[in-house]
């Protein structure tokens, strides 16, 4: 039986800008000091424990300058954004901000633009200091831990920021230091492969082609079964053959047991081997059998079950 339990969760959040453009400066009581330096702190939300323990890099790209009233103007590399920026108001939707963020990402990737700053995220947080005032794209490449992969929603953030404009309450004073923003990750499961190597030390041609069958079971760190299947290796002569099993969840501990060796062949190695699955890699286990000098004819098939969305379907594996 083949059982794959997907435990990844996917949180899809619309990109948004933490600051909507003030309309004729009616929200903030003070003009922006455009020459003052800013700092942005980028955090991993508390619920993402696995990601918080993984070090990675976030990038900041300055896409627009900001004037003392809070109006944005795209800088040279991002001048294609000017039309969208000129139409901003306090009623600009999250979808509109998401579209602008996506357009900024396209420009970055197409023109291979260098980031204004790179922020090392360690233990779930990192800070960029001495930033010029302006509008910044926050972008993170795909990140992999030992078990999961993470993709991130790009978004735009203003430096300085304003609590009242970003949340609808609180102070309307411009904030230059420690502007806090949360990353918006989505999670997907990573997998690795397993290759079973079988050495048949000697072979009796009169007995036909022997088939060796293996039970493969993988459990996660809690002991929950996340993968269960059977595999077989057939020989037409002595030597070494192998079979590869793909798509086992990364981080899982795998136990491989030889459950059938044919009547005339015996296991001369251990009949059970354990290993660990590493994302994107292939783990190896080895078994050895030898002719037992007993003339017992036999062959076999492996019964394999696949889930088709409504139930388990039996498939014969030759």
What secondary structure letter does DSSP report for 122? B
- The average pLDDT across 40-49 equals 94
Query: Cα 210 to chain center, whole Å?
Result: 41
Q: Which single residue is written with the structure tokens 């002719």?
A: 291
Any idea where the domains of the chain sit in the sequence? 7-189, 191-303
Query: What is the percent of the chain with per-residue pLDDT over 90, rounded to a whole number?
Result: 60
pLDDT confidence bin for 9, thresholds 50/70/90: very low
Out of 77-81, 97-101, 156-160, 234-238, least confident range: 234-238
What confidence tens digit (pLDDT) does each residue in 158-196 have? 999 987 665 556 677 899 999 999 999 999 999 999 999
According to CATH, the superfamily of the domain at 191-303 is Immunoglobulins (2.60.40.10)
- The average pLDDT across 38-49 equals 95
Q: How far apart are CA 148 and CA 154, in angstroms?
A: 19
What confidence tens digit (pLDDT) does each residue in 63-75 have? 999 999 888 999 9
What confidence tens digit (pLDDT) does each residue in 12-23 have? 233 444 443 343
Q: What pTM, to 2 d.p., does this model score?
A: 0.71
Query: What is the percent of the chain with per-residue pLDDT over 70, rounded to a whole number?
Result: 79
- The average pLDDT across 259-279 equals 88
Q: Is the pLDDT of residue 302 over 70?
A: no
- pLDDT recorded at residue 69: 87
Phi and psi for 68 in degrees, rounded to 5? -65, -20
- The average pLDDT across 244-251 equals 94
Q: Is the pLDDT of residue 316 over 60?
A: no
Q: Is the pLDDT of residue 282 over 70?
A: yes
- pLDDT recorded at residue 10: 27
Q: Is the pLDDT of residue 202 over 60?
A: yes
Residues 6+ apart with CB under 8 A from 60: 40, 115, 116, 117, 118, 119, 128, 131, 136, 137, 138, 139
- 298 membership: H or E segment, kind and range: none
- pLDDT recorded at residue 245: 96
What confidence tens digit (pLDDT) does each residue in 94-135 have? 898 899 999 999 999 999 999 999 999 999 999 999 999 999
Cα–Cα–Cα angle for 92, 94, 98, rounded to 5 degrees = 110
- pLDDT recorded at residue 33: 94
Winning range, highest mean pLDDT, from 44-53, 201-210, 287-296? 44-53
CA distances in angstroms from 30 to 18, 22, 33, 88, 175, listed in the order given: 18, 12, 9, 20, 11
CA distances in angstroms from 279 to 147, 191, 207, listed in the order given: 7, 5, 40
pLDDT confidence bin for 6, thresholds 50/70/90: very low
- The average pLDDT across 264-269 equals 86
DSSP states along 218-237: EE-TTS-EEEEEEEEEE-SS
């Amino acid at each position: 039986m083949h059982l794959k339990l997907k435990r990844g969760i996917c949180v899809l959040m619309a990109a948004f800008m933490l600051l909507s453009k003030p309309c004729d400066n009616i929200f903030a009581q003070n003009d922006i000091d455009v020459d003052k330096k800013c700092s942005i702190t980028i955090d991993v939300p508390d619920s993402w424990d696995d990601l918080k323990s993984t070090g990675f890099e976030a990038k900041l790209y300055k896409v627009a300058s900001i004037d003392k009233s809070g109006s944005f103007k795209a800088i040279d590399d991002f001048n294609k954004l000017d039309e969208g920026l000129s139409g901003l108001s306090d009623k600009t939707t999250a979808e509109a901000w998401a579209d602008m963020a996506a357009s900024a990402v396209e420009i970055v990737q197409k023109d291979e633009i260098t980031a204004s700053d790179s922020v090392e995220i360690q233990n779930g947080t990192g800070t960029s200091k001495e930033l010029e005032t302006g509008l910044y794209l926050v972008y993170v490449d795909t990140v992999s831990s030992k078990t999961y992969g993470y993709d991130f929603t790009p978004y735009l953030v203003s430096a300085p920021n304003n609590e009242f404009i970003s949340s609808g309450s609180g102070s309307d004073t411009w904030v230059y230091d420690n502007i806090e923003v949360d990353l918006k990750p989505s999670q997907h499961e990573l997998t690795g492969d397993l290759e079973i190597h079988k050495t048949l030390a000697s072979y009796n041609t009169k007995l036909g082609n022997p088939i060796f069958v293996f039970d493969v079971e993988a459990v996660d760190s809690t002991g929950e079964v996340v993968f269960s299947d059977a595999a077989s290796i057939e020989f037409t002569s002595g030597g070494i053959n192998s079979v590869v099993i793909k798509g086992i969840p990364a981080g899982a501990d795998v136990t491989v047991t030889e459950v059938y060796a044919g009547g005339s062949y015996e296991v001369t190695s251990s009949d059970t081997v354990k290993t660990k699955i590493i994302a994107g890699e292939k783990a190896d286990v080895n078994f050895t059998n030898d002719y037992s000098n007993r003339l017992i004819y036999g062959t076999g098939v492996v019964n394999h079950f696949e889930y088709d969305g409504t139930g388990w379907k039996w498939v014969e594996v030759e």
